[in-house]
A = this chain, B = another copy of it.
Amino acid sequence: MNFERVKLKTLHDKITDPESALQHFYDGAVVGSSGFTKAGDSKVILKALAKDAPRRPIGITLITGASLGHNTDGALAEAGVLKRRMPFQVDTVLRKKINAGEILFIDQNLGETSEMLTDGDIPDIDIAVIEAAFIAEDGGIVPTTSVGNSPIFAKHAKKIIIEINTAVHENVYGIHDIYQLEAYPDRKPIEILKPDDRIGDKAIYVDTSKIVAIVFSDIQDSPADIAEPDEKTTAIADHLIEFLSKEVKEGRLTKSLRPLQAGIGKVANAVMQGLGRGDFEHLTMYSEVLQDSAFDLIDLGKLDFASAASITVSEKCYERVFNNLDQYRDKIVLRPQSISNSPEVIRRLGIIGINTAIEFDIYGNVNSTHISGSQMMNGIGGSGDFARNTHLSIFVTQAASKGDTISHVLPMVSHVDHNEHNVDVVVTDQGYADLRGLAPRERAKLIIEHCAHPDYKADLLDYFNRACEKVGGQTPHLLEEAFAFHARLMKTKTMKKEGEEVLRDVH
């Protein structure tokens, strides 16, 4: 144990081992844990809780910033400890239990969880588990690789457990900007006018008497799985660059664009990397996660500044960033997710948001969360916080997948996370459709022509034409056929009509 990391000496008697800290947990407890897209999550306490379950079975509500690493969610789910989970997850085991109805998942806009806590809309935090690099002499809790919801959890919790992670160097001090929103009706404007504006503290300040245990870990964050760009993600990136370059050429944007937000994952990462190839300069980010691509762009001299709620990078990138933090220190800031995802700041800065869709429809509605309308994938994450308030809301996906048996452009999405009003541009590997200022019937033609996979264009156009003819309306739909593509996939393993014909021939 590294007593030096607890600089407020009056807290030394709280230092203990994870197993002893478990005494603070009980059946029905609401636990708020640090962790945002696998960064800065609890490494030992939550795992210990799962391990302890056979001996002492309890059920908890777990609220985090976003996803956890190290299969912690899976371990908790498997052990039966998780009863309710919010606001986001990416774990295979947990996902299965959510979809089986065994664990209740409350899929939330990541910027809103703290609002709900402030307003008492969700149960208040009993125990907060916060990963920290160290506790300062003045009691300030210095976060590690994410801020997420840690400040609001610490503020609301009856008891706080700190996990000091010695794998994170103390020099992270200063990369965080901790600002907490006032409760109603005393809210003030959030004085962020540029991505690099700092408005808060460098640590989380709470009543330190609430700290009931301090444990140690020496475990690095789970690395991000960063797939190399492939043909499709490169094509998507190229189409997006084509669109942004046109905006610059036509004078609606400058070469430094506007502050960028990019969702997490392979496609978004490839798109951001792709920006390095475009004729852009002095870019900035106001996003929720910094992936490898952000640091690549900084190294290329293309990205001046990046604001987010977490750093989630590959192992290689992690070493590069955290072994050379002084090179990046003045180019990044980590904020609470209530600030990184704040509607006020997003609208004021005129953000360009780039998020991934599971599917979108011919009228521009986007599904980011559900497979075939019912099965949860990960959750809406921050995509809603951004899409609803950005200057430009862009959604990207592949036109077709799984040997082109699945079209990601559909007559009607099976679940709506972002509706036509919050979607400006859709991009696939086939091309992009700029939907701004267009009526639904105009959008349909453009999306089918530019974004759909060639194998599905005729079917989509046929649906649209028949809907116009038979039903008409602002947004022509044949309700009885709206999900025919999804139904075909379930029945014949492909959305292509030939599947049905093949099946007919077989029988």
Interface residues of A (CB under 8 A from B): 84, 86, 98-101, 104-109, 112, 115-116, 119-123, 184-185, 187-191, 193-194, 251-252, 258, 342-344, 347-350, 365, 369-370, 372-376, 380, 384, 388-389, 391, 414-417, 419-421, 424, 436-439, 441-442, 467-468, 471-477, 479-480, 482-483, 486-487
Give every chain B residue within 8 A of A424 (Cβ-Cβ): 121
Give every chain B residue within 8 A of A436 (Cβ-Cβ): 116, 121-122
Give every chain B residue within 8 A of A123 (Cβ-Cβ): 437
- Greatest chain B CB density within 10 A among A251, A374, A417 is at A374
- A-B contact list, 7 entries, CB within 8 Å: A105-B474, A343-B389, A344-B348, A373-B477, A374-B473, A374-B476, A416-B416
Known: A120-B252, A252-B120, A475-B373. A350 touches B184 (CB 8 A): yes
Give every chain B residue within 8 A of A486 (Cβ-Cβ): 479
User: Known contacts A86-B437, A344-B347, A479-B486; can you find 16 more A-B pairs with CB under 8 A?
Assistant: A101-B441, A101-B472, A106-B437, A106-B438, A112-B421, A116-B437, A119-B391, A185-B350, A189-B344, A342-B347, A344-B344, A373-B479, A374-B473, A376-B473, A384-B421, A419-B419
Give every chain B residue within 8 A of A108 (Cβ-Cβ): 421
Give every chain B residue within 8 A of A347 (Cβ-Cβ): 342-344
Say how far A173's CB is from chain B's closest CB, in angstroms: 29
Q: Is the Cβ of B189 less than 8 Å from the Cβ of A348?
A: yes
- Greatest chain B CB density within 10 A among A252, A258, A342, A471 is at A471
Separation of A470 and B115 alpha carbons in the complex (Å): 36
Say how far A127's CB is from chain B's closest CB, in angstroms: 18
Give every chain B residue within 8 A of A388 (Cβ-Cβ): 343, 388-389
Q: Is the Cβ of B185 less than 8 Å from the Cβ of A194?
A: yes
Q: Is the Cβ of A480 less than 8 Å from the Cβ of B474?
A: no
**Of B185, B194, B419, B483, which one neighbours A417 at CB under 8 angstroms?**
B419
Separation of A375 and B437 alpha carbons in the complex (Å): 19
Q: Is the Cβ of B349 less than 8 Å from the Cβ of A185?
A: yes
Separation of A191 and B99 alpha carbons in the complex (Å): 45
Known: A100-B472, A475-B370. A419 touches B421 (CB 8 A): no
Separation of A99 and B86 alpha carbons in the complex (Å): 41
Separation of A370 and B477 alpha carbons in the complex (Å): 11
**Of B185, B389, B487, which one neighbours A258 at CB under 8 angstroms?**
B185
**Of B106, B251, B373, which one neighbours A439 at CB under 8 angstroms?**
B106
> Which of chain B's residues has its CB closest to A434's CB?
B121
Separation of A122 and B185 alpha carbons in the complex (Å): 36
Give every chain B residue within 8 A of A121 (Cβ-Cβ): 252, 424, 436-437
Separation of A84 and B441 alpha carbons in the complex (Å): 12
Separation of A439 and B105 alpha carbons in the complex (Å): 6
Give every chain B residue within 8 A of A101 (Cβ-Cβ): 441, 468, 472, 476
Q: Is the Cβ of B376 less than 8 Å from the Cβ of A475?
A: yes
Q: Is the Cβ of A374 less than 8 Å from the Cβ of B477?
A: yes
Separation of A376 and B185 alpha carbons in the complex (Å): 38
Q: Is the Cβ of B487 less than 8 Å from the Cβ of A480?
A: yes
**Of B112, B194, B472, which one neighbours A99 at CB under 8 angstroms?**
B472
- Greatest chain B CB density within 10 A among A84, A104, A112 is at A104
Q: Is the Cβ of B483 less than 8 Å from the Cβ of A479?
A: yes
Q: Is the Cβ of A374 less than 8 Å from the Cβ of B475?
A: yes
> Which of chain B's residues has its CB closest to A374's CB?
B473
Q: Is the Cβ of A373 less than 8 Å from the Cβ of B120?
A: no
Separation of A467 and B373 alpha carbons in the complex (Å): 11
Give every chain B residue within 8 A of A372 (Cβ-Cβ): 479
Separation of A483 and B414 alpha carbons in the complex (Å): 12
Give every chain B residue within 8 A of A105 (Cβ-Cβ): 439, 474
Give every chain B residue within 8 A of A473 (Cβ-Cβ): 99, 370, 373-376
Give every chain B residue within 8 A of A474 (Cβ-Cβ): 98-99, 105, 107, 369-370, 374-376
Known: A121-B424, A184-B350. A477 touches B414 (CB 8 A): yes
Known: A258-B184, A391-B119, A419-B419. A479 touches B475 (CB 8 A): no
Q: Is the Cβ of A104 less than 8 Å from the Cβ of B441?
A: yes
> Which of chain B's residues has its CB closest to A121's CB?
B436
Give every chain B residue within 8 A of A86 (Cβ-Cβ): 437
Say how far A269's CB is from chain B's closest CB, in angstroms: 25
Q: Is the Cβ of A348 less than 8 Å from the Cβ of B187?
A: yes
Separation of A107 and B420 alpha carbons in the complex (Å): 9
Q: Is the Cβ of A189 less than 8 Å from the Cβ of B189?
A: yes
| List of 3 A-B pairs having minimum Cβ-Cβ separation, nearest first | A374-B473, A189-B189, A376-B474
Say how far A217's CB is from chain B's closest CB, in angstroms: 31
Known: A101-B468, A389-B343. A191 touches B194 (CB 8 A): no
Say how far A191's CB is from chain B's closest CB, in angstroms: 7
